[in-house]
Amino acid sequence: MPAPRTTTYARIYRTVKRIPRGRVATYGQIARLSGFPNQPRLAGYALHNLRDNEQPNVPWHRVINAQGR
């Protein structure tokens, strides 16, 4: 049975919060480090659904696509 969305997204948010200032990571790297290999879209969906009041201080702007954009 898959994990509930909130638990899954929380894992992704914790991983994104670990990206140091001045560095970036790809959606694929975030997914892999969060325990969801080969699911970069899941990281994208999680960040798309990010709400500041639920998860403050998630540096979503440090996550880029595989082409560096």
Confidence of residue 1 (pLDDT cuts 50, 70, 90): very low
Cα–Cα distance for residue pair 3/46, rounded to 1 Å: 13
Specify the pTM: 0.87
Residues 3-38: tens digit of each pLDDT: 567 889 999 999 999 999 999 999 999 999 999 999
Any residues with CB less than 8 A from the CB of 59 and at least 6 apart, and which? 16, 17, 19, 21
Q: What is the pLDDT of residue 32?
A: 98
CATH for 5-64 is: 1.10.10.10
Nearest-CA neighbor of 25 among 54, 55, 53, 59? 59
What pLDDT does residue 6 have?
Answer: 80
Residue with tokens 């994104």: 16
Helices 40-48, 5-17: crossing angle, 10 deg rounding: 90
Domain boundaries in the chain? Answer: 5-64
Output the pLDDT for position 2: 55
pLDDT tens string 33-64 = 999 999 999 999 999 998 876 778 999 999 99
